[in-house]
């Protein structure tokens, strides 16, 4: 991790307008506020989050007013919603010397948002959900973050970026400098090839293989999905070597002799093709077009996936797991 300043001095006398109050937005607003930064929250009319923000004694106003008020505009709404909100509410309010901050570089990298040359464009991307970002801050710790300077119009963008990251508490844990392009491409690849796409298909394939071989679907669920948390937690805490040190020798040997039969040359070729689509912008164009057309294919696939047998079996089994129930004291 980079050795950087943990001072918020570059934010003194400036107002940060946090646009959005979801997972990241609420954590950014509260952590910055508690770090002594002047914060306002910009939300669309009728937002269900407005009362939550006001309950935390945050000043809430329409997006265009917040953008006009802010010296730093932290744009923390969904990627697909950003371009329209930017055009309607953010761009008209920008003034020379303002800073536009993103927690994900998608729209900057793929040109869906092109800020004017006289504003700073910066990236601060905490590597955790907002709830953890807030929880760790309150505990006097922080979560690591990526940061980058896409456009330094004022000559002070780097200091401002580091001050913002410090206000989140992330400088306590460590910061890693990157670019909007590298952050976006690696983030999309990880999601598609490993964390979401690769994971989901691997789990379903394992489940289906056991069920088709005549095994009880409940047993297949336990072995192919339920126990993943154990493995992921071990790897999260100690890396692959730490995980392998904790599982049985039988499991570790099976890892070595069978893992590459599943993720073999064909899978690696497919990963390369996925990365090519991300780097070329082909995936971004497909997703942007899908969103602009109402997301019909996206909604169709989502509905179909929810009908998979693993969902029905899993829901029934999880209903017996007291520790997963919201009101459980287990």
Neighbour tally for 16: CB within 10 Å: 25
**Six token digits for residue 318:** 């999880």
Residue partners of 295: CB distance under 8 A and separation at least 6? none
**Six token digits for residue 310:** 């693993």
* Residue in this structure with the two tokens 């899993």, named with its chain if needed: 314
**Rounded Cα gap, residues 203 and 210, in angstroms:** 11
**Torsion angles phi and psi, residue 272, rounded to 5:** -60, -40
State the greatest distance between any 2 C-alpha atoms of the chain, in Å, as a whole number: 68
* Residue in this structure with the two tokens 């922080």, named with its chain if needed: 142
Per this entry, what is the length of the chain?
Answer: 330
Burial 306-318 (b: 16+ CB within 10 A, else e): eeeebeebbeebe
User: Which of these is catalytic: 104, 109, 226, 308?
Assistant: 104
Angle at 316 between CA 310 and CA 320, to 5 degrees: 135
Is 26 marked active-site?
no
Beta bridge partners of 190: none
Using an 8 Å Cβ cutoff, are 219 and 210 in contact? yes
**Rounded Cα gap, residues 122 and 144, in angstroms:** 17
The Cβ-side half-sphere exposure at 82, using a 13 Å CA radius, reads 25
First to last CA, the chain: 37
Crossing angle between the packed helical segments 23-34 and 157-168, to the nearest 10 degrees: 100
Q: Is 108 helix (H, G, I), strand (E, B) or coil?
A: helix
User: What proportions of the chain, in percent to the nearest 5, are helix, strand and coil?
Assistant: 60, 10, 30
Supply the residues annotated as catalytic. Answer: 104
């Amino acid at each position: 991790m980079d050795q950087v300043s943990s001072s918020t001095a570059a934010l003194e006398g400036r107002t940060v307008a946090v646009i959005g109050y979801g997972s990241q937005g609420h954590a950014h607003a509260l952590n910055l506020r508690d770090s002594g930064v002047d914060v306002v929250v910009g939300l669309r009319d009728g937002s269900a989050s407005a009362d939550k923000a006001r309950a935390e004694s945050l000043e809430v106003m329409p997006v265009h007013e917040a953008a006009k008020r802010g010296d730093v505009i932290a744009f923390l709404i969904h990627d697909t919603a950003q371009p329209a909100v930017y055009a309607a509410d953010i761009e008209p309010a920008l003034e020379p010397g303002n800073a536009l901050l993103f927690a994900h570089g998608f729209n900057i990298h793929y040109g869906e948002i092109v800020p004017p040359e006289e504003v700073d464009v910066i990236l601060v991307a905490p590597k955790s959900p907002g709830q953890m970002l807030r929880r760790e801050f309150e505990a006097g710790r922080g979560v690591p973050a990526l940061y980058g300077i896409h456009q330094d119009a004022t000559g002070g963008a780097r200091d401002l970026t580091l001050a913002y990251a410090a206000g989140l508490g992330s400088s306590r844990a460590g910061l890693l400098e990157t670019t909007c392009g590298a952050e976006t491409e690696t983030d999309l690849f990880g999601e598609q090839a490993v964390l979401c796409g690769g994971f989901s298909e691997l789990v379903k394939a394992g489940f289906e293989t056991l069920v088709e071989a005549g095994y009880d679907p409940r047993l297949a669920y336990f072995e192919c999905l339920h126990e993943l948390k154990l493995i992921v937690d071990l790897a999260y805490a100690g890396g692959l070597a730490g995980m392998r040190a904790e599982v049985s020798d039988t499991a570790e040997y099976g890892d070595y002799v069978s893992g590459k039969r599943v993720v073999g040359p064909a899978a690696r070729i497919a990963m390369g093709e996925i990365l090519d689509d991300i780097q070329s912008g082909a995936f971004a164009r497909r997703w942007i077009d899908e969103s602009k057309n109402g997301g019909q294919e996206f909604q169709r696939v989502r509905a179909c996936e929810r009908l998979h047998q693993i969902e029905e079996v899993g829901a029934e089994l999880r209903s017996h797991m007291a520790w997963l129930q919201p009101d459980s004291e287990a």
